[in-house]
Chains A and B, each alone.
Chain A
Amino acid sequence: MNVSIASRQLSQRVAFGLLIAATAIVVIAVLAIVLKMLISGSGAISWEFLTQAPSQAGKAGGIFPAIVGTFYLMLGTIIFALPVGVMAGIYLTEYARDNWLTRIINLAIVNLAGVPSIVYGLFGLGIFVLAFNFGMSLLAASLTLACQALAMTITTSREAILAVPREYREGSLASGATKWQTVRHIVLPQAKPGIITGAVLAMSRAAGETAPILVVGAAFLLPALPQSPFDQFMALPYHLYTVAAHVPGITDSTMWGVALVLLAVVLSFNILATIIRLRARQRRYSS
């Protein structure tokens, strides 16, 4: 008996240790990435670096156009992806009947998330750049990234809408509100924090994409800011890729500096999403 208890306690300890180790690896990986960026890249960060256009193929000057381009891109992506995502989410949860067509649509949405990003790039090149004749442009890139972001905005909208308790819907319908009034005045306000969280995460993902924008409008070294949606643009991830891969003699610290700024943009949006979610949860429990 004693032996058996001792061996059970040992296996318990081993399992516990393995679980802790696995968790620690995750934390260490994140910390290591952030620390490496900070140590190697913070030397490059200066007011000039953040506010000036690049010169000498990125070896000198700053990355201001790439920062601005990335923000334009995030904005452009969400302008297209959010309304379509929310409307599709409403349709699928509130209106669509559960039949084979709806099931195929749901399957399509799941697969949309699994399509490799370079495939979106080529799709965007074929459709937006060439067929619609938008050219290599901010507009074509935004639409391309929006297609990719749709999987996320639809899924998060749908989940946020489904999480609204049935009692609220019934209470509204029983008061003689129409289905649309119920969606508009009860369901959407309740689902809003979840929808916004999803949108912010979709934006942060769009900020980090390199492959799709490569073929639909990102430019290397374009000191002037885009003046219209039909202009080409610089973006942080693509800038990082080109300086790292194609610019000989670039200093390490410049390279890491670009990476650090990109990481800061993406992480700050992820943190923003977390804050929105936490605040919504707090409000729900405190009221």
Chain B
Amino acid sequence: MKMNSELLDKKTAMNNDLKLSTEGVNLYYGNFQALRNITLDIPERAITAIIGPSGCGKSSFLRIFNRMNDLITGARVEGRIELDGINIYAKSIDVVELRKKVGMVFQKPNPFPMSVFENVAYGPRRHGRHNRGELEEIVEKSLRRAALWDEVKDKLGQSALALSGGQQQRLCIARVLAVEPEVILMDEPCSALDPVATLKIEDLMRSLADNYAIIIVTHNMQQAARVSDMAAFLMMEKDRAGVLVEYGPTSELFTNPKDKRTEDYITGRFG
């Protein structure tokens, strides 16, 4: 891990600061341990990809940052997870406030069964913004940043479910942006989309990385290589899921992996 932290120092020097960090994180679902002693630092204004085979704990890891694992009965987290140096599992933390700061895009586009406008306005409304003009401004700004405005500006009142899959996913990104988060978590956001829609989302992610810390879980290694700045390789060993094998700048992890298992995985020898 010494090597990793040196590389990370270089990376973070470039970015000025860290956004999130985990230290010795274990996650249990009842008796099953889904994550094992995971320690890593996630930089600000960059894309961090979590890769690894199915069932290795990628999504579980992502969901510790907005505490969505709290919703699962029997889930238990150990270790320290910090956002801007503050332990987000501390008793004093309001989960609702945390989720405003740490937004999430899901694997399957999940727009609400309401209009395009209402989807984007949903978060701001729940946080007490009701002024129509203000909401209109937020909706337009969010849709523009999600590169969807031109496609939907004439059908803001129509059902969001009538949009194409790729548009729905960008709408979900706009819905997250409308809450003005600091971190965006993306759980295989393109796995349900065709290649053209995937490319659009990837472009969008690159442009969002100028302002946000983005963590993306992906099954697709080409995607991780294309979009991410940092990459973490998670794996399961026999009956042990959730082991962090290697973490470092994406270019190095893909061209010069330090661990044999990483090399085997990215060259397609297993998984």
Minimal Cβ-Cβ distance residue in A for B161:
A287
Inter-chain contact B175/A167, CB cutoff 8 Å: no
Question: Closest residue to A285 on the B side, CB-wise?
Answer: B161
Q: Which residue of A lies closest to B122 (CB)?
A: A175
- Per the bound structure, the CA–CA distance linking A253 and B179 in Å amounts to 68
Complex: chain A residue closest to B118, CB-CB: A185
Min CB distance, A100 to chain B, in Å?
15
B66: which A residues are within 8 A, CB to CB?
A: 174
> Judging by beta carbons under 8 Å apart, are B123 and A176 in contact?
yes
A173 to B176, CA, bound (A): 11
Knowing A186-B112, A287-B162, the reply to whether A171 touches B126 (Cβ < 8 A) is: no
Q: Which of A226-255 contact B (CB under 8 A)?
A: none
The answer to whether residues A167 and B113 also contact, given A174-B66, A176-B100, A181-B126 and a CB cut-off of 8 A, is no
Q: Which of A97, A165, A173, A287 lies in contact with B68, CB distance below 8 A?
A: A173
Indicate if the CB atoms of B126 and A175 lie closer than 8 Å: yes
Instruction: Contacts A176-B99, A176-B123, A177-B123 given; indicate if A171 touches B113 (C-beta within 8 A).
Output: no
Q: Is the beta-carbon distance between A175 and B103 smaller than 8 angstroms?
A: yes
Provide the bound-state CA to CA distance between A59 and B108, in Å: 67
Interface: A95 (CB within 8 A): no
Digit string of A156-178 for contact with B (CB within 8 Å is 1, else 0)? 00000000010110111111111
* Complex: A287 Cα to B155 Cα, angstroms: 14
Q: Contact between A287 and B71 (Cβ–Cβ < 8 Å)?
A: no
Q: What chain B residues lie within 8 Å of A176 (beta carbons)?
A: 96-97, 99-100, 123, 126-127, 179
With both beta carbons as reference points, the residue of chain B lying nearest to A178 in the complex is identified as: B96
**Residues B61-107 near A (CB distance < 8 A):** 66, 68, 71, 73, 96-97, 99-100, 103-104, 106
- Check A167–B126 contact: CB distance below 8 A: no
Instruction: Report B76 CB to chain A, min CB distance, Å.
Output: 15
Chain A positions within 8 Å of B113 at CB level: 168, 190, 284, 287
CB pair B126–A185 under 8 Å, yes or no, is yes
Name the residue on B nearest A167 (C-beta): B110
Q: Considering only CB atoms and an 8 Å cut-off, how many residues of chain B contact the other chain?
A: 27
Which residue from B71, B100, B110, B127 sits with its C-beta under 8 Å from A171?
Answer: B110
Report how far A186 CA is from B110 CA in the complex, Å. Answer: 12
The distance from the CB of A177 to the nearest CB of chain B, in whole angstroms, is: 4
Q: Specify which chain A residues have a CB less than 8 angstroms from the CB of B122 in the assembled complex.
A: 172, 175, 177, 185
Bound-state Cα–Cα, A186 to B111, Å: 11
| A171 and B175 form a contact (CB under 8 A) | yes
Q: Is B159 an interface residue (CB 8 A)?
A: yes
Instruction: Give the residue name and chain of the A residue nearest to B66 (CB).
Output: A174
Chain A proximity mask over B124-165: 1 for CB below 8 Å, otherwise 0: 001100000000000000000000000000000001011000
- Provide the B5-36 mask, 1 if CB < 8 A to any CB of A, else 0: 00000000000000000000000000000000
Say yes or no: is B172 at the interface (Cβ < 8 Å to chain A). Answer: yes
Given contact pairs A185-B126, A287-B161, A174 touches B112 in the complex (Cβ within 8 A): no
State how many angstroms separate the Cβ of B74 from the closest Cβ of chain A.
Answer: 10
- Do the beta carbons of B73 and A175 come within 8 Å of each other? no
Q: Closest approach, in angstroms, between the C-beta of B157 and any C-beta of chain A?
A: 13
Bound-state Cα–Cα, A165 to B68, Å: 16
Task: Give chain B nearest CB distance to A158 CB in angstroms.
Answer: 18
Return the CB mask of A168-201 against B: 1 if under 8 Å, else 0: 1011111111100100011000100000000000
**Apart from the given pairs A174-B106, A190-B113, 13 other A-B contacts in the complex at a CB distance below 8 Å:** A168-B113, A170-B71, A170-B110, A171-B172, A173-B68, A173-B71, A173-B99, A174-B104, A175-B123, A176-B96, A176-B97, A176-B179, A177-B123
A residues whose Cβ falls under 8 Å from a Cβ of B: 97-98, 165, 167-168, 170-178, 181, 185-186, 190, 284, 287
| 30 pairs, CB–CB < 8 Å, chain A vs chain B | A98-B73, A165-B110, A168-B110, A170-B71, A170-B104, A170-B106, A170-B110, A171-B110, A171-B112, A173-B68, A173-B71, A173-B99, A174-B99, A174-B104, A174-B106, A175-B99, A175-B100, A175-B103, A175-B122, A175-B126, A175-B175, A175-B176, A176-B97, A176-B99, A176-B126, A181-B126, A185-B122, A186-B112, A190-B113, A287-B113
